[in-house]
Amino acid sequence: MKEKILIIDFGGQYNQLIARRVREHNVYCELMPYTVSIEKIREFDPIGIILTGGPHSVYEKDAPSIDKSIFTLNVPILGICYGCQFIAQSLGGVVSSAKESSLGEYGRTETVFDISCPLFKDIPQKSITWMSHGDYISKLPDGFTSVAKTASCPMAAITDGRLLYGVQFHTEVDNTEYGSKILYNFLYNICHAKGGWKMDSFCQNAIADLRAKIGDGRVLLALSGGVDSSVLASLLSRAIGNKLTCVYVDHGCMRMNESAKIKEIFSAMDLNLVVVDAEDRFLSKLKNIRDPQEKRKIIGREFGYVFLDEAEKFGITKKDFFAQGTIYPDVIESGEGGAGVIKLHHNRVLPSEVLMSFKDILEPLSCLFKDEIRKLGKELGLPESIVYRQPFPGPGLAIRILGEVTKEKLDTLRLADSIFTSEIEKSGLTDICSQYFAVLTDSKSVGVMGDGRTYEHALVLRSVKTNDFMTASWSRIPYDVLDRVSVRIVNEIPKINRITYDITSKPPATVEWE
Stretch that binds ligand XMP, among 94-102, 238-246, 250-258, 392-400 (CB under 6 A): 392-400
- Residue 225 as a binder of ligand XMP (CB under 6 A): the answer is no
| Per-residue contact string for residues 437-476; x = within reach of ligand XMP by CB under 6 A | --------------------------------x-------
Number of residues that bind ligand XMP (CB under 6 A): 14
Beta bridge partners of 6: 30, 49
Give yes or no for a contact between 1 and 28, defined as CB atoms under 8 angstroms apart.
yes
Could you say which of 121, 139, 465, 506 contacts ligand XMP (CB under 6 A)? 506
CB of 343 to ligand XMP, least distance (A): 5
Beta bridge partners of 164: 77
Classified as helix, coil or strand, 284 is helix
Give yes or no for a contact between 135 and 54, defined as CB atoms under 8 angstroms apart.
no
Burial of 208 (0-12, 13-18, 19+ CB in 10 A): exposed
Give yes or no for a contact between 227 and 387, defined as CB atoms under 8 angstroms apart.
yes
Phi and psi, residue 480, nearest 5°: -70, -30
CB-wise, 320 or 330, nearer to ligand XMP?
330
- Choose among 86, 89, 53: nearest CA to 176: 53
CB of 333 to ligand XMP, least distance (A): 6
Phi and psi, residue 3, nearest 5°: -90, 110
- Residue 511 as a binder of ligand XMP (CB under 6 A): the answer is yes
Q: How many CA atoms lie within 13 A of 429 on its CB side?
A: 23
- Residue 20 as a binder of ligand XMP (CB under 6 A): the answer is no
CB of 326 to ligand XMP, least distance (A): 9
Could you say which of 18, 89, 391, 498 contacts ligand XMP (CB under 6 A)? 391
Stretch that binds ligand XMP, among 52-60, 390-398, 416-424, 496-504 (CB under 6 A): 390-398
CB of 410 to ligand XMP, least distance (A): 17
- Marked catalytic residue, from 172, 302, 372, 423: 172
What H or E segment, with its residue span, contains residue 256?
Answer: none
**What does 45-83 look like in DSSP terms, one character per residue?**
--SEEEE---SS-TTSTT-----GGGGGS---EEEETHH
Burial of 254 (0-12, 13-18, 19+ CB in 10 A): buried
Q: Is 24 left (phi over 0), alpha (psi -120 to 50) or beta?
A: alpha
- Residue 359 as a binder of ligand XMP (CB under 6 A): the answer is no
CB-wise, 301 or 506, nearer to ligand XMP?
506
CB of 296 to ligand XMP, least distance (A): 5
CB-wise, 70 or 511, nearer to ligand XMP?
511
- Residue 304 as a binder of ligand XMP (CB under 6 A): the answer is no
Could you say which of 393, 400, 485, 486 contacts ligand XMP (CB under 6 A)? 393
- Residue 96 as a binder of ligand XMP (CB under 6 A): the answer is no
CB-wise, 71 or 501, nearer to ligand XMP?
501
Phi and psi, residue 478, nearest 5°: -60, 145
**What does 370-422 look like in DSSP terms, one character per residue?**
HHHHHHHHHHTT--HHHHTPPP--TTGGGGSB-S---HHHHHHHHHHHHHHHH
- Marked catalytic residue, from 81, 84, 117, 203: 81
CB-wise, 108 or 285, nearer to ligand XMP?
285
CB-wise, 227 or 240, nearer to ligand XMP?
227
Could you say which of 250, 279, 502, 512 contacts ligand XMP (CB under 6 A)? 512
- Marked catalytic residue, from 25, 56, 133, 170: 170
**What does 18-29 look like in DSSP terms, one character per residue?**
HHHHHHHTT-EE
- Choose among 357, 367, 385, 460: nearest CA to 416: 460
Give yes or no for a contact between 187 and 5, defined as CB atoms under 8 angstroms apart.
yes
Could you say which of 296, 297, 400, 498 contacts ligand XMP (CB under 6 A)? 296
| Per-residue contact string for residues 323-352; x = within reach of ligand XMP by CB under 6 A | --------------------x-xx------
CB of 253 to ligand XMP, least distance (A): 12
Could you say which of 46, 79, 93, 395 contacts ligand XMP (CB under 6 A)? 395
170 is catalytic: yes
The alpha carbon torsion through 459, 460, 461, 463 (nearest 10 deg) reads -160
Stretch that binds ligand XMP, among 148-156, 354-362, 387-395, 439-447 (CB under 6 A): 387-395
CB-wise, 139 or 506, nearer to ligand XMP?
506
CB of 344 to ligand XMP, least distance (A): 7
Classified as helix, coil or strand, 511 is coil
Say how far apart CA 510 and CA 507 lie, in whole Å. Answer: 6
CB of 242 to ligand XMP, least distance (A): 27
Residues engaged in binding ligand XMP (CB under 6 A): 296, 343, 345-346, 391, 393-395, 435, 469, 506, 510-512
Catalytic residue ranges: 81, 170, 172
